[in-house]
Amino acid sequence: MVVYLTGFMGCGKSSVGRRLARALGYAFADTDHLVEKTAGKGIAAIFAEDGEAAFRHIEREVLQRTADMNRTVVATGGGMPCGEGNVEFMNAHGAVFYLKSSVGRLMGNLLAGDRSRRPKIAGLGNEELCEYVRTTLAAREERYAKATFTVECDSRSDYGIVAEIAACVAERQGGGAERVVTRPMREEEVPLLAEFLYDAIWQEDGAQALPRSVIRHPEIWAYIDGFETAEGDVCVVAEVSGVIVGAAWARRMHGYGFVANDMPELAVSVRRQWRGRGIGTRLVRELLMTLRDGGCKGVSLSVDRHNPAVEMYRRLGFGVVREDDSGYVMTLML
Ligand code: S3P
């Protein structure tokens, strides 16, 4: 499969693309580099000597060649989706992910980067740049939105963005038939907990999605702040074909589900497209076993009353010990 990454200049297509390729075991290609190789000169020189139309012509040619690249992540130039038929071509030949970013995030990245190699913005002062990003993004949004998948990038690490796309690709490749493995979380995977923390917040289907920054609320962030894979913090993950699709963790804390100092609070989260396959139940079972082996006498959790996970917890033996407007606090003695 070819995985195309699209989005405005500075949204992180190249850095996410390289990491994603590594995560999937794919090759990596960048259409800007392919254009430069084809033309035998840099992008700035193509724009200056031959004009933007010549650049767009080569860009389109290069795109057509990418369709034959198997198992490759292709980062595309920011203007690629604006060329007639280009998004449609990408959607037809691979999986297209639009890395959606706010003007603020793009500005932060563009100001930190080297503007001289991007002819569209090379000569602009900071205020002009902001105006350019605002108006051009608004004008292009409709084209970007034609990608099959949109990935919200604000308030997220590259790691999290890569995890979401990798899970989607695994699913598309028929990951449903693949083996789900549960195992302890490794230290280098801890940054993923921010992703799972967001997914663990119950949101009604069809309701306006909460901004990702909600996890930075101190009472929520406390669930993963300084998380260790030892010393009382315990986390198990579910992995499919090298991609982590779920996590269940426990830590001693005074969170929404606090009951007693010696009873850690439990949280579990499975990527949306992997729900409904018993992965959450497996994760919680494995976590409970690990906690019991470590001498823990019981766990507690807080759950929204509308969250279908309430039933899973009941099946696993959890009982309600407290109830308020939004939900239940449940416990299980081990
Ligand atoms: C462009 C974006 C650039 C490059 C060219 C034009 C654009 O790619 O293709 O300078 O029109 O937005 P990046 O998004 O990789 O900077």
Task: Identify which of 118, 132, 134 to mutate to test ligand 1's pocket (most ligand atoms within 8 A of the CB).
Answer: 118
Residue 91 belongs to domain with CATH number? 3.40.50.300
Last residue within a domain, chosen from 106, 128, 160? 160
Domain that holds residue 147: 2-160
What is the model's pLDDT at position 326?
82
Per the structure, how many domains does the chain have?
A: 2
Last residue within a domain, chosen from 105, 129, 160? 160
Nearest CA to ligand 1 atom 16: 9
CA 317 to chain centre: 32
CA 137 to chain centre: 21
Q: Is the CB of 118 under 6 A from ligand 1?
A: yes
Nearest CA to ligand 1 atom 12: 78
| CB-based burial label for 91 (10 Å; 0-12, 13-18, 19+) | middle
What is the model's pLDDT at position 263?
96
Among 218, 217, 221, CA closest to 194: 221
Q: Are 215 and 194 contacting, i.e. CB atoms less than 8 angstroms apart?
A: yes
Domain assignment present for residue 170? The answer is no
Looking from the CA of residue 31, the nearest atom of ligand 1 is 9
Q: Is the CB of 79 under 6 A from ligand 1?
A: yes
Q: Are 276 and 171 contacting, i.e. CB atoms less than 8 angstroms apart?
A: no
Q: Is the CB of 43 under 6 A from ligand 1?
A: yes
Pure H helices in the chain: 13-24, 31-39, 43-50, 52-66, 86-93, 103-112, 126-144, 158-172, 193-200, 218-221, 279-293, 309-315
> 1 alpha carbon to ligand 1 midpoint, in Å?
24
| Whether 213 and 136 share a structural domain | no
Region of residue 71 (left: phi > 0; alpha: psi -120 to 50; beta: else): left
| Whether 36 and 185 share a structural domain | no
Q: Is the CB of 9 under 6 A from ligand 1?
A: yes
Mean pLDDT by 10 residues, the chain (334 residues): 96 95 90 97 96 97 92 96 94 94 97 92 95 98 95 90 89 68 91 92 86 94 89 90 90 95 95 86 93 94 93 95 92 96
| Whether 188 and 39 share a structural domain | no
